[in-house]
Amino acid sequence: MRRYTLRRLLQAVPVFLGTTLLIYLMVFALPGDPINALAGDKPVPESVVAALRARYHLDDPLLVQYGKYMIGLLHGDLGENYDGQRVADMLAGRWGVTLRLAVTAWAFELVFGIALGVWAGLRRGRLADTLVLGGTTLLIAVPVFVLGYGAQLLFGVRWPVFPSAGTDEGWPVGYLLPAMVLGSLGLSYVARLTRTGLAENLRADYVRTARAKGLSRARVVGRHTLRNSLIPVVTYLGVDLGALMGGAIVTEGIFNLPGIGQQVFQSIQLKEGPVVVGAVTLLVLIFLVVNLAVDLLYGLLDPRIRYE
């Protein structure tokens, strides 16, 4: 187990370095003036350009630039907006909203996804199975922003079951509809993974053994089949927690939730390039850290992979 952990940690290092280098190269080191690019079509005063060049160490050699940028990142420095406001400060008050939304969406896809998947998996080939497969395919096909506006229009405005926008109602009421929209894609994948895993594992030899041991159906399904079927589901859920934090851009934008995603959403409209780059880099790093944590937990769940 310790060897497995160590190996995963070591493997993560080049991925972290590579990903940040990639972002850095794409944003700051490509031909053309990054400052003008980040500013878009906004006129930027000469003094600001000079300050920004110094700020991003653009006059240093490339690898030095990257090194300084990384050291800054590790100290929580995500850069500054044109008006000199630190991006980290702009995001500071927004953590709670994004985290609450992501965790609510995650809980939603975990509970309902697994429940739907078990329901369909135990009835493979029957109506329940067809319904779940069809419904989840539809949810996967409809882009999340269409789903968001559709849900807001129907359940926030036409039939106001939920608040249509904002967090005035607090958690959980204010977060329910956006969380369902945000979690719908994950819910679909969780349901399908659970369904397929369960339906396949129910035909496995060890399930037949469990029945030959005289165990009840509840025990055969719940203990012997579900645990094996849930290994890919748990992997997906782990990866998805990171993706949900990042995917919140669209949902927070539509439902006007004051989280990190909404900041990115607004900054794109306002053409505040440095804010977008800083915030999204942060979201990517969160995604990577959560993935790594899941990988490490995975070793606990499936004893086979520890000895690979």
Partner 1 sequence: MEPADRLLEVTGLSVEFAVRGATVRAVNDLTYHLGEGETVAILGESGSGKSVAAQAVMGILDTPPARVTAGSVRLRGAELLGLPERRRREFRGDRIAMVFQDALTALNPVFTVGDQICEMFQVHRGMRRRAARAEAAALMERVRIPSAARRLSDHPHQFSGGMRQRIMIAMALALEPDVLIADEPTTALDVTVQAQIMRLLASLRDELRMGLVLITHDLGVVAGVADRIVVMYAGSVAEQAPARALYTRPAHPYTAGLLASVPRLDRPAGPLTPIKGAPPDPAALPPGCPFHPRCPRAEAVCAAERPPLVTVAPGHAAACHFAVEQHGAREVRDGQ
Partner 2 sequence: MSAPDPGVAAVVAEAAGPVTGRAASLWGDAWQDLRRRRLFWACTAELTLVTVMAAFPRLFTSRGANEGCDPNLAKLGPSGAHWFGTDVAGCDYFAHVVHGARPTLLIGIAVTAFATLIAVVLGTLSGYYGGLLDTVVARLTDVFFGLPFVLGATVILVAFPGHGVGAMTLVLVLLGWTTMIRIMRGQVIAVRSADYVQAARLLGASDARIMRRHILPNAIAPVIVVATLSVGNVISGEATLDFLGVGLQYPQVSWGLQLNQAQSYVVDHPHLLLFPAVFLSATVLALLLLGDAVRDALDPKLR
Stretch that binds partner 2, among 73-81, 87-95, 109-117, 270-278 (CB under 8 A): 270-278
| Residue 220 vs 281, nearer CB to partner 2 | 281
Q: Per-residue DSSP letters for 238-279? A: HHHHHHHHHHHHHHHHHHT--SHHHHHHHHHHTT-HHHHHHH
Cα 38 → chain centroid? 25
* 226 membership: H or E segment, kind and range: helix 226-255
Site string for partner 2, 132-171 (x = CB under 8 A): -----xx-xxxxxxx--xx-xx---x--------------
| Residue 236 vs 287, nearer CB to partner 1 | 236
Our finding on whether 219 is near partner 1 (CB under 8 A) is yes
Q: Using CB under 8 A, pick the residue from 181, 237, 260, 283 that binds partner 2.
A: 283
66-104 burial, b for 16+ CB within 10 Å, e for fewer?
beebeeebeeebbbbbbeeeebbebbeebeebbbbbbbb
| Residue 51 vs 140, nearer CB to partner 2 | 140
List, in sequence order, the alpha helices (H) in 56-172.
62-74, 87-92, 95-121, 127-141, 144-151
Residues 118-137 that bind partner 2 (CB under 8 A): 137
Q: Using CB under 8 A, pick the residue from 228, 258, 266, 271 that binds partner 1.
A: 228
Task: Give the C-alpha separation, 168 to 193, whole Å.
Answer: 36
Number of residues engaging partner 2 in binding (CB under 8 A):
54
* 188 membership: H or E segment, kind and range: helix 173-201
| Binding site partner of 130, from partner 1, partner 2, none, Cβ cut-off 5-8 A by kind | none
Our finding on whether 305 is near partner 2 (CB under 8 A) is no
Our finding on whether 70 is near partner 2 (CB under 8 A) is no
Please work out, in degrees rounded to the nearest 5, the angle formed at the alpha carbon of residue 37 by the alpha carbons of 267 and 39: 45
Note whether 291 and 285 are within 8 A (CB).
no
| Binding site partner of 23, from partner 2, partner 1, none, Cβ cut-off 5-8 A by kind | partner 2
Our finding on whether 128 is near partner 1 (CB under 8 A) is no
Our finding on whether 19 is near partner 2 (CB under 8 A) is yes
Radius of gyration of the chain (CA): 23
Residues 22-41 that bind partner 2 (CB under 8 A): 22-23, 26-28, 30, 34, 37-38, 40-41
Of the candidates 189, 76, 65, the one whose C-alpha atom is nearest the C-alpha of residue 135 is: 189
Our finding on whether 213 is near partner 1 (CB under 8 A) is yes
SS3 86: strand
Q: Using CB under 8 A, pick the residue from 280, 290, 295, 299 that binds partner 2.
A: 280
Task: Give the C-alpha separation, 19 to 36, whole Å.
Answer: 24
Q: Footprint of partner 2 on this chain (CB under 8 A)?
A: 11, 14-16, 18-19, 22-23, 26-28, 30, 34, 37-38, 40-41, 137-138, 140-146, 149-150, 152-153, 157, 242-243, 246-247, 249-250, 253-254, 264-265, 268-269, 271, 273, 276-277, 280-281, 283-284, 287-288, 291
Q: Footprint of partner 1 on this chain (CB under 8 A)?
A: 204-206, 208-217, 219, 224, 227-228, 231, 301-304, 307
